[in-house]
Structure 1
């Protein structure tokens, strides 16, 4: 991107911590494992936001607000410990998790030493000043991986309109924030721009404090409850949901297909209204059922991503809290309505299990894999990234059917590596499927999305 003039820096000096280091939180450790398994394509986990600046603000005024934001939220001035830099980047003894090696055959993917995070009390955050399109700037800033040891975990650009800042672009390292954490940061930045720094506001919760709670008595109790669920279900699920080679790998092997379907959206809301369920549970059930149809498994395991913000002290934290839970569904050719009834309690158990210690999960994975004589891991994810459930609403079957004419499938992304084989994402754009074509070919990816639409439309209009 084209910067305008010398680049400014945001000088910050926030409250510290004694000591300034702590182990990674469970959410940080989970995303770090995913990052390491996806490198060098780990820019996949970067994400950003664009904030339209309220009123008329100069570069200096916006930088003042940004400094207050970084001072308030320690995650934005936290990096990985330098002591961790020298450890080998291959988490399971093999950089290729899909070959003959067993990627989950070692309960401790980091070797003997534990990873740490380090909070900085002061520093300088570089800022890009440009006049380019904000969305293009966001894409450019997110396109390269972060230096997790030597770079602050947020990148900032100011987009000018004349001599005033029209937009602030923020790109987050996933070790610092998840989607809801980014929304907290965006909300606080807007407040700071409108009102200026407010010393009366209570201090924000910090990832270092959370890490220490998780290592304490209460945290270990919560972790043990979640671990029991993982161990019980890992003893009965198939070793992997997608294990047979597709016979048609693409180059590069990882692709994303995006289904835009107004008919699916209407059908999901109508089914939710008819069965007293959330639209997210309807979609999770349908995704899991269709995985079973494609793989032939009667018991299906899917890893839904949970926000994990149910504790009062984590509601407004800027951190990566989201983790995978373990959802299992026994299909046995049951009607969709019956599956949906069973899915409600199973989804609750799955989302509770998402608040877990990855070290426990690695230990259980290694232990159960050894008992069963093969690696156990679903490699099958579900991520509802919508910030609000649109809610149940009964829809006219004729309207749902007519909307099928507006269905489209596009292919917005491809890359060489990913830490999973099958990932469904729900966004305001539609339903996307990111998959490793070595296990699900591109034609089958498109067929999966269209059959997902058909399953839900049929269930809604029946």
Structure 2
């Protein structure tokens, strides 16, 4: 079946900073760019049941009409309009908002998570396909679950959560209070305004100064013949690490994300032999009040730099807090500025400047707790699991660390190019990360981070 929608306008605009950042990443990962698809499963609330297929179609129509990003695709720039200097061969697409159309819906009687994975397993047709795939799971003609799979050009993780929240409200109340948040069109216009250019200039100063001192590349030494395929992901699920991180955060006054970013940077420096560890944390960029509830892709990379010669873990954690704040501010940047700075720094230093070392904390809550004792944390080490859930041919990075909340504890997955970090070294990195944090929770004299 199809869901027909009708919006209020049809326009084109340059890509936003977030769209340009993810589009560059998608291009460099193709044909394995389905890697960036992600989905959400919403169990229909009890108070909204029984829900018919027609009723579900109606609320989904309202969702697509509320959020313009869900009916925005890629198209050619208008004739005579220039694009930023960093785009490959000068041909960067624009965003094209359509007034009306229809989104196909898959109806299934199967497992909703399996349906989500099936809808996400192929790359989007960015110029012709709507950036939202929809599935309905039915039982005896009643819809029990709604599955949404997003193109990363239309939403990031936080944007997807907004969409799911709005969908729940539509199911329960029939409407979402308040006007729609800014669309990608409005964001693109603001980013091109005088105020937006000032924000971009501040971020560019940070990238320029750090590019002068960081290692050109963190993972700069080939380790031998890569695996086949070369890109692998290892997933460590550890309740012990979860308890240790919460304890360190509670005692030090840092967030659990800063604790993990610090530890990840320390070990990245050890593995690569660099005293300055440079990492690219993925930042949500929802600091402005009007973008908090925007369904779009705002997430971009910031630049986090930590001097590992500053001392032990406690001292490094203290230094990491202001460094993390600088990194977060640098994430809301114009990718064209970054491209120009990268090119200039490369010429000055005679080497390509790119850390190829990413950190993405995908959790939505930060819980701290100083109460776990050492014995219980060490017993929890026996529950740790390590699996290999993904492999593929291409990725635009060499080292990507993702943090998730899992039923068995903290999930830390490492996706890496085995030509630079072989699978045994990937496994050792994750286990060493767990050990470092467990030891720091009870062996370091943790001082509050100011």
* TM-score for both structures, normalised by structure 2: 0.94
Cα distance in structure 2, aligned partners of 1:454 and 1:10: 51
* Secondary structure of 1:250's aligned partner: coil
Structure 2, unaligned stretches of length 5 or more? Answer: 79-83, 444-450
Matched, 1:75 2:69: yes
Show CA shifts across 1:156-188 (max 9, x none).
Answer: 011101111111110000000000100111111
| Residue of 195, 220, 226 corresponding to 1:249 | 226
Residues 205 and 313 in structure 1, CA contact (< 8 A), matched pair in contact too: yes
C-alpha change, 1:400 and 1:197, in structure 2 (3 Å) is: closer
* Secondary structure of 2:162's aligned partner: helix
Cα distance in structure 2, aligned partners of 1:63 and 1:145: 24
Matched, 1:112 2:90: yes
Cα distance in structure 1, aligned partners of 2:308 and 2:178: 51
| Residue of 171, 181, 185 corresponding to 2:163 | 185
Which residue matches 1:266?
243
Cα distance in structure 1, aligned partners of 2:12 and 2:368: 42
1:248 to partner: Cα distance = 4.2
Matched, 1:434 2:415: yes
Question: May I ask how many residue pairs the two structures share in their alignment?
Answer: 431
Matched, 1:335 2:312: yes
Cα distance in structure 1, aligned partners of 2:178 and 2:432: 50
Which residue matches 1:40?
31
Which residue matches 2:3?
10
Q: How does 1:379-394 map to 2 (within 5 A)?
A: 379-394=356-371
Cα distance in structure 2, aligned partners of 1:346 and 1:201: 37
Which region of structure 1 is more displaced relative to structure 2, 211-220 or 386-395?
386-395
1:107 to partner: Cα distance = 5.6
1:393 to partner: Cα distance = 2.9
Structure 1, unaligned stretches of length 5 or more? Answer: 1-7, 85-105
* TM-score for both structures, normalised by structure 1: 0.91
Q: How large is the RMSD of aligned CA atoms in angstroms?
A: 1.3
Which residue matches 2:51?
57
Show CA shifts across 1:43-73 (max 9, x none).
Answer: 0000000011122111111101111100000
Which region of structure 1 is more displaced relative to structure 2, 335-344 or 258-267?
258-267
Q: How does 1:132-281 map to 2 (within 5 A)?
A: 132-197=110-175, 201-281=178-258
Residues 279 and 392 in structure 1, CA contact (< 8 A), matched pair in contact too: no
Cα distance in structure 2, aligned partners of 1:354 and 1:131: 42
Residues 303 and 327 in structure 1, CA contact (< 8 A), matched pair in contact too: yes
1:109 to partner: Cα distance = 2.9
C-alpha change, 1:453 and 1:181, in structure 2 (3 Å) is: same
Cα distance in structure 2, aligned partners of 1:338 and 1:290: 15
| Residue of 125, 128, 152 corresponding to 2:103 | 125
1:25 to partner: Cα distance = 0.5
Cα distance in structure 2, aligned partners of 1:143 and 1:387: 24
Which residue matches 2:446?
none
Show CA shifts across 1:218-263 (max 9, x none).
Answer: 1000000000000000010001000101114111000000011111
| Residue of 297, 302, 311 corresponding to 2:274 | 297
Cα distance in structure 2, aligned partners of 1:280 and 1:399: 22
Show CA shifts across 1:268-324 (max 9, x none).
Answer: 111111211111000000000001111110011000000000101101000001000
Cα distance in structure 1, aligned partners of 2:17 and 2:362: 20
Cα distance in structure 1, aligned partners of 2:238 and 2:52: 42
